[in-house]
A and B are shown apart, each in its own frame.
Chain A
Amino acid sequence: MLVFLVYPIFLLIRDSFYKIDIINPSLREFVGFANYTNSLTSERFLKALWNTVVYIGVAVGFEFIIGLILALLLSNAFKGSQFIRTLLLSPLMLAPLVTGIIWKFMLNDQFGIINWGLYKLGILSDPHQILWLSDSRFALYSTIIADIWLTTPFIMLVLLAGIKGIPISLYESAEMDGANKWHKFRYITFPSLIPVATVALLIRIIDAARTFDIVWVLTQGGPGFSSELLSTYMYKTLTRYGEVGQSSAMAVIFIIILLFLSSFFITKMWSPRRRHS
């Protein structure tokens, strides 16, 4: 098992210092850090990096807000809340690919239901007005919409579990002290949720950084490079341009950024003594 995961990473780091012929990988030439400097100075790479940051920021931000609202709503037990929760959680296991296809259909500029809906509501003057997937201003945000739709239930699930873990006695004593709903949220629910929310957010940030399927199905990074993420750019560098060394160098940079980001996450979740306590 170690062999299958550690060895590839070793290979990856080694390859990132070479220029390699994809047809005949034994033809290789040591180029030092050239692949790294090429990546870090290339406009396309920086654009993809920036797009990835925007993607993570916007997607995870909205997912958290909507997820929190849903979790708070569903924590009020009313008749049917259990059923609605079950329904909401069904897409948890849906393939990102299928999500991409759903939104490819709905956002289509010819027969997409979104544009026609907006047209019928009088928001758009022409049903073909917004080219969601083929206008470079909107393409990235269209892929973000699909991501938000797919993964908000996950955030909701984790936050809901967090809310359920708050002892009811806290709320009862607050009520005795005359707290209203906002006070209860502000001083009990929200602070109690912070540890759970941190972990949920970090899991989502890392997963959003790795997104490939949704973007590939919806736009393939286009039009132009307007919705290019690091993952799609690396895929293209490998398969379309056959630059093994170059894509390996980008992959290493990507890993380093993510590890840096998630070292916080690891210290939060892991301690050698945790399992004994």
Chain B
Amino acid sequence: MAHIPLKETIAEKPVWFATLHVKHKIWTLIVLFTTCLLALLFLGPYIYLLLTSLKPSAEAVSVPPTLWPSQFSLENYIKMFDYLPIGKYFLNSLITAGASTILSVFFGAMAAYGISRFSSITGSYFLLFTLVIRMVPMISIAIPMYMIVKSMGLIDTHFALILVYTSLNVPFAIWLMIGFFDSVPKEFDEAARVDGCSWIGAFIRIILPVSLPGLATTAIFTFMLAWNDFLFSLLMTSTNAKTATVGISEFLTAYNLDLGPMTAAAISFSLPVMIFSFFIQRYIVSGMTLGAVKE
């Protein structure tokens, strides 16, 4: 598992600036300054997009550009609905990402529990398989999947996208959850069995509640994969099931001169995600470092 070890590591507690030596003071100031500069460099572009979306529509593409809006306005946010059925696209994203998340977490949890408790060798080979799948470029999978969906007559349906996202996400969900289930002691299941629970009962009543943080991590990752997907939606939808990512990108081709509403749509699409990931970062970090940092 990817927990950052709890043993003493470097620089555990912040040190009060006033108590430092002069030499250390200069060093700390340099570190602080560089960090803030780099942080600004990385946050700046997103903040700029946010500010642009709050400018009046004409100012967003004015020459020369302005950094700070001359006046704050929600014009772009109102106009984006005029150009494209953006509300419908957002709903499509929510439906496909939501449904595929529920399915992936459900199947992923069952498979991962089985592998974690009953067959460790299959589990190891399964992990290998998941890694191999991760190496396959999305576009390579997308080509045959497109042909399958087409031959089934499912192009431009929610169902097709849900199916695709679920099949892409399940191996990843299993991979993440094996890690979480392995960290739950086997004694938990055994105690439940002694008390007369079936395996299924033990799983639902004991193991799932205990590994709730793991389930949350998995759900966040599978949801984000589907929510952020662009390629599959671009390939497989045209009008009915088009998701928000493809919808937003259409502003670029259709309304090349009036890009203000596009920034508004991009912000509406991503700001909830940014705020959400700010608050649940603990889960994201544990998911991202899994596999990379061994115990």
Q: Which A residues have a C-beta under 8 Å from some C-beta of B?
A: 1, 4-5, 7-9, 11-12, 15, 25, 66, 69-70, 73-81, 84, 86-98, 101-106, 110-113, 116, 127, 149, 152-154, 157-158, 161-169, 171, 195-196, 199-200, 203, 206, 209-210, 212-213, 216-217, 230-231, 234-235, 238-239, 244, 247-248, 251-252, 254-255, 258-259, 262, 265-266, 269-276
Contacts and interface: CB of A to CB of B under 8 A. Distances in A.
Interface stretch (B61-69, B83-91, B188-196, B204-212): B61-69
B292 A199 contact: yes
B125 interface: yes
6 contacts: A84-B35, A95-B269, A97-B266, A164-B5, A164-B10, A209-B137
Nearest to B282: A86
Contacts of A252: 140
B140 A254 contact: yes
Interface of B: 2, 4-5, 7-17, 28, 31-32, 34-36, 38-39, 42-43, 45-46, 48-49, 52, 61-65, 67, 107, 111, 120-121, 123-125, 127-128, 131-141, 143-148, 150-151, 163, 166-168, 170-171, 182, 224, 227-228, 230-231, 234-235, 245, 248-249, 252, 259, 262-263, 266, 269-270, 273-274, 276-278, 281, 284-285, 288-289, 291-294
A93 B134 CA distance: 18
A8 B164 CA distance: 11
Contacts of B234: 216
Q: Interface on chain A toward B: helix, strand, loop, or mixed SS?
A: helix
Contact of A93 (B9, B136, B224, B230): B224
Given A11-B144, A25-B150, A255-B140, A206 B134 contact: yes
Contact of B46 (A94, A195, A196, A258): A94
B230 to A, nearest CB: 4
B83 to A, nearest CB: 15
Contacts of B259: 105
A84 B38 CA distance: 10
A44 B287 CA distance: 38
A272 B15 contact: no
Contacts of B148: 7-8, 11
A110 to B, nearest CB: 6
A146 to B, nearest CB: 9
Contact of A96 (B62, B64, B228, B284): B228
Given A9-B140, A89-B285, 12 more contacts: A1-B107, A84-B35, A89-B281, A92-B288, A93-B273, A104-B252, A196-B292, A213-B231, A216-B230, A235-B139, A248-B144, A252-B140
